[in-house]
Every structure is written in structure tokens, then in C-alpha cells.
Amino acid sequence: MVGDAIVEGSGGAQPQGFLNSGALLAVAKQSGQAAGTLVKENLDNMYSRLWAGSVPTSAWLINQDVWPAIFDLNQAVGTGGYPMFIPPGGYNAAPNGTLLGRPVIPIEFASTLGTQGDVNLVDLNQYVTISKGGIAQAQSIHVEFLTDQLALRFVMRVDGATWENSPVTPFKGTNTQSSFVTLQTRS
């Protein structure tokens, strides 16, 4: 629940997820791009909008439905090409491979392929969390007495939000940048 709240929490009685933050920068799809697809230009545009200070500590957070589209990506080189996805043990031994030099991490909290939030380039060092106490636990034999069951309850008090409140305009340049970049819905 905490992981899902960090990604898409409403900010009410839970942490504000980076997908609901004012700092989120949603990059538009390519003109003429087919629904439910991922193209090299999407990743190029997302990377170019990542705040420069977040480049060394950023990662791609994706839904596992995105893997087939990632495996098909390549950079044209003359009449041939070069794969954009570098598998584990390739040039960089990142656990899940890399895209544009940044690790790719599949998470179950990302949206499915083709919807906003399926591919995210984020720097979670720019996400702040705070917790109060540990995990409180309680049990009761009375709640489910008639069915001979013991009821357990665990409570963890945690809050979080992005450090930034909005995308920033760099000193030199016109495109806004952020530590939290996602790809808009492709439909």
C-alpha cells in the first residue's frame, strides 16, 4: 500500500504520489503514434525533460506489460540499428537492464501499457517520506468469535510528497524539467 501511494497516492489520508504531484511533467506522445505503443522518441523526449540534477540517480519505473515494447526499441545506425535496451550483464550489470544508461525497474504500481503512468522516469531521491513510530499491531479474538478466527490489525503511519511542487525552467533553455517525468496516454 505504501508503494502504491508513493506512485499514485491522492495526498488525502495517504502520501501524495508523484503521478498526482504538481511536479509531474507529462510528455506528449508522438504525432501519429499508434495506441498502446512505445517508440524511441517517447524515451528521448522524456529523458530530455528530466532535471539535470536527477540524471545520475534516476530510474525508469515501468509496468511489466511494457517489456515487449522495450525489447523492440532500437536506435537507427545507417542501414542497421542498435538495441536501446541493454540486458543484464551487458554493458552495465544493472539488475533489470538499462535504457539510455538508467536502470529499468518493473513495478506492479505502474499503469498498463498505453496509459499515463506506464513508463516513468523518476528520481526517488526527490521524494520525501516521513513515518511516525513503527508498525503498530493489535489482535482480537472477539471480532470473529463465531467462526473461531483471530483478527489481526497492522497500522503504519507514513506520509510523503515530491520535494518539488512544480516543474522548473532551467537557467538557459525554454523546456520545463522535473525529477518526475511520465508519458501521456497513447490512444
- Does residue 86 register a pLDDT over 70? no
Boundaries of domain holding 164 = 2-182
Residue 133 lies in a domain: yes
pLDDT tens digits, 133-172: 888 999 998 888 888 899 999 988 999 999 999 999 999 8
pTM for this structure?
0.83
Sign of CA dihedral 139, 140, 144, 150: positive
Number of domains in the chain: 1
Q: Is the residue at 17 inside a domain?
A: yes
Question: Looking at the domain assignment, is residue 66 inside a domain?
Answer: yes
Return the pLDDT at 179.
97
- Domain membership of residue 33 (yes or no) is yes
In this predicted structure, the answer to whether residue 90 has a pLDDT above a threshold of 80 is no
- The pLDDT mean for the chain works out to 89
Give the list of residues 6+ apart from residue 176 with CB closer than 8 angstroms, or none.
25, 49, 167, 168, 169
For residue 75, list its beta bridge partners: 82
**pLDDT at position 134, please?**
87
Q: Is the pLDDT of residue 119 over 90?
A: yes
**Percent of the chain at pLDDT above 90?**
63
pLDDT 10s digits, 126-135? 999 998 888 8
At 2 the three-state DSSP class reads helix
Question: What sign has the CA pseudo-torsion 100, 106, 107, 111?
Answer: positive
**Cβ–Cβ under 8 Å, residues 19 and 30:** no
Residue 76 counted as domain residue: yes
Give a yes or no: residue 57 inside a domain.
yes
Whether 29 maps to a domain, the answer reads yes
How many CB atoms lie under 10 A from the CB of residue 91? Answer: 10
In a domain, 187, yes or no: no
Degrees, nearest 5: CA angle 14-58-177: 85
